[in-house]
Structure 1
Amino acid sequence: MILVDDGSPDGCPEICDAYAEKDPRVRVIHKENGGLVSARKEGLKNARGKYIAFVDGDDWVDNYYLDILYKLAEANDSDLVVTGHFREFNGKIETIKPKTAGIYNQRELQEEILPNAIYNGQFCEHGISTYVWNKLFRRELLGQVLFDVPDEIIMGEDAAITYSYLAICKRLTVSKIPLYYYRQRHDSIVKSIENPQMEYYRLGLLMHYLKTKLQPVLDEQNLSEQIRYYLYSQILVRSGGLIYDRDDKLIFNPFVGVTPGSKVIVYSSGSFGQHVLTTNKRNRFFNIVRWIDIDYHELHVDEIYVSPISAFENDAFDHLIIATINPSNYRAIKRELSLMGVDEKRIVRINTDEEEVSGLLAELGFDKDFKFRGN
């Protein structure tokens, strides 16, 4: 176990050293703060094993996490193993399982997996999850990828590693067994964007890097489509959906049919939902009458508190926004709300028209290679 202290200002360095004193298998690396990519590089430099697994600081794993990953890799001679995981949020646990369980050779990887890895045709659902922490990597192959990822990529670091690694794999095993506990806290979600131009620049770094790395294994049309929708989804989540220029003029409204002043209910207190409320707090496009979630908890933005999903009536709103970009989640939530008597015609869909999405990205300043050319 390699613990990387990336210039932590709290008590983590001492905690890491204490573990190393108790168990000789634990090794500690202290370094100046350089970000997640540089910390992972430092860990890999010091690794000696055949395989590499990652665990983030907030999370925890099943007792047999490494044992099962190792056996899946060895039994199938795989370069990469992908498993399910648990999402732990506000004391509730959701099980997430990959849909494409199986063993894939190099031809199947290039013909079936990679063309759907970032965007599987459903906006915006990944065929292979971006995360590095529910996967096992072959160390020698990972070295060919990780050290090439620029330290400046500080948005989507996992995606930069996962998809560029997938491009050089010859054998993949996907298992539905959930082994990793991903823990998300309310206060860990970024709730406001102070500088959208910087956000676009950082997203452009990631998207251009992915295009460069995946060009040898995917045709131009498929690759551009996958990255275009991935970029669009990330912009939507972090902007709160409504996209404004630097003069606070609205240039894009992805919520089909929703007009200024509409009485709106927002479903979801996750990242997208929080961004919807913080963006609206600044620009007052909607009249948000309720903020609801099945994961009910104490949280508020602009004096609007999260309420249980039963806390409204049909005559209290014009539109209901399900703040998710995952179509499977959207359909499941929509179905549950309709069972409760919610008029499905009032449930908003997100605009995914390819021509309009392409026009938006160009207007924001992204070129055909997804570099951000804005100021």
Structure 2
Amino acid sequence: MNPTKISVIVPIYGIEKYLPKCIESIIEQSFQEFELILVDDGSPDNCPKICDDYAKKDSRIKVLHKENGGLLSARKAGLKVASANYIAYVDGDDWVDNYYLDTLYKLAVTNDADLTVTGHFREFNGKIETMKPNNPGFYNEAEIKSSILPNAIFNGEFCEHGMTTYVWNKLFKKELLEDILFDVNNDILMGEDAAITYSYLAKSKRLVISKIPLYYYRQRHDSIVKSIENPEMEYYRLGLLMNHLKQKLANILDEDTLTTQLNYYLYSQLLVRSGGLIHINNEQPRFNPFTNVSKGSKIVVYSSGSFGQHILSTNLKTNYFKIVKWVDVDFHDLKIGNAMVQPISSVNEDDFDYLIIATINPSTHRLIKSELLLMGIHDDHIAEFKTDEKEISQLIKKMGFDENFLYKQNIEHVN
């Protein structure tokens, strides 16, 4: 009998600063019947040596050294050598609670779950926020199809998932995951987690969701890509993701529900990656998603996360807005162009026309907005997103996505 009950797979690339903490948090688990598979995805730093050094000290650790192929290829490589019946993924710059594996395993076995989901912690610049699912409980196959999947990608609020895309706060059955993971196109370099999670969910017959937070997700401002060098390539890859999801969910969701889910998901990804102003075949002006905000408006950008950074970077090239200030409650040293992140208290009502809250999560948007109102910012000076589905659908078609969400240009054209 194989004593290994869980295979923990860690894809690794360029994270030597964080990797030891990640590995230590796993080998110190209260649950000991696991193997740890460290996949060095051609990392150019000291990560390969760190992996090998740990493997010499702990027989439960396997190390794979491979040419760089991206996150998805590393996850596939790890799964190929995994020996346990359950699979957990941990990103190499994150870390886990001591009872991470113990809790996941007990939840999975007790409920004979194909998929086990938990809460997590989000760490940014030393501050930790607890994130918990809104729909804890056990779901059978009928309930997964009737209540979970129709809201998984878009839960009715722009743009919030009914289930998180992340693979790292979940426990998978190896046999089912093998059917899913190796069918995901390696060219899907954005939204890999969504391609895996939602496809896997569609095949699951028993699901358990727990609010217990066990995983520490490190949100790093230095890991965010701050500009789009090739919009056509980005659209091509996003089209691959949406097409993959359409194929995998078409037999479960009705066409209208699935189209709505994917329209909003694609729109949200386009917003974040484009810095708000969506590029349409080199047309000017680009699509401006902010209601009532016009070109040349004096803007304060709230949030130094991915979306905020993209807004700043895009505006450096387009000069569409006049960005007068960049603020965040998580104030830290970060600069794009001449703009540096400043504390929220630095905002004055007379300094700007509109304030853009750079998040597509409605719950987060509401929380930030309530704080801004308390700080004296008027409601009508806080920008809102355009979220009419008809307008979004027309935009997507105008950009060149077909009815299957594939982008008009093939890879040869894009390159």
Normalising by structure 1, we get a TM-score of 0.98
Q: Tell me the secondary structure at the aligned position of residue 72 of structure 2.
A: helix
**C-alpha contact (below 8 Å) 1:243/1:250 kept by paired residues:** no
> In 2, Cα distance between the equivalents of 1:343 and 1:215?
44
Name 1:373's counterpart in structure 2.
Answer: 408
Q: Tell me the secondary structure at the aligned position of residue 210 of structure 1.
A: helix
Q: CA deviation at 1:94?
A: 1.0
Q: 1:325 aligns with which of 350, 357, 360?
A: 360
Amino acid at match of 1:254: P
Q: How big is each residue's C-alpha offset from its partner over 1:186-243, in whole Å with a ceiling of 9 and x where there is no partner?
A: 1100100011011000100111001001111111111111011000000000001112
> In 2, Cα distance between the equivalents of 1:301 and 1:9?
26
Q: Tell me the secondary structure at the aligned position of residue 68 of structure 2.
A: coil
> In 2, Cα distance between the equivalents of 1:330 and 1:36?
30
> In 1, Cα distance between the equivalents of 2:135 and 2:171?
17
Q: 2:165 aligns with which of 126, 130, 144?
A: 130
> In 1, Cα distance between the equivalents of 2:161 and 2:188?
20
Where do 5+ consecutive residues of structure 1 fail to align? Answer: none
Q: Tell me the secondary structure at the aligned position of residue 27 of structure 1.
A: strand
101-110 or 12-21, which deviates more: 12-21
**C-alpha contact (below 8 Å) 2:281/2:399 kept by paired residues:** no
53-62 or 6-15, which deviates more: 6-15
> In 1, Cα distance between the equivalents of 2:283 and 2:346?
33
What pairs up with 1:158-307 in 2 under 5 angstroms?
Answer: 158-247=193-282, 249-307=284-342
Q: How big is each residue's C-alpha offset from its partner over 1:252-274, in whole Å with a ceiling of 9 and x where there is no partner?
A: 11000001111111110000001
> In 1, Cα distance between the equivalents of 2:282 and 2:408?
18
> In 2, Cα distance between the equivalents of 1:335 and 1:260?
26
**C-alpha contact (below 8 Å) 1:117/1:127 kept by paired residues:** yes
Name 2:190's counterpart in structure 1.
Answer: 155
Name 2:176's counterpart in structure 1.
Answer: 141
Q: 1:357 aligns with which of 384, 387, 392?
A: 392
Q: Tell me the secondary structure at the aligned position of residue 161 of structure 2.
A: coil
> In 2, Cα distance between the equivalents of 1:292 and 1:49?
47
**C-alpha contact (below 8 Å) 2:280/2:398 kept by paired residues:** no
> In 2, Cα distance between the equivalents of 1:219 and 1:280?
39
Q: CA deviation at 1:285?
A: 1.1
Amino acid at match of 2:63: V
> In 1, Cα distance between the equivalents of 2:260 and 2:280?
24
Name 1:11's counterpart in structure 2.
Answer: 46
Q: CA deviation at 1:246?
A: 4.7
> In 1, Cα distance between the equivalents of 2:99 and 2:283?
51
> In 2, Cα distance between the equivalents of 1:243 and 1:17?
45
Q: Tell me the secondary structure at the aligned position of residue 260 of structure 2.
A: helix
Q: CA deviation at 1:248?
A: 5.8
Amino acid at match of 2:392: V
Amino acid at match of 2:236: Y
CA RMSD in angstroms comes to 1.0
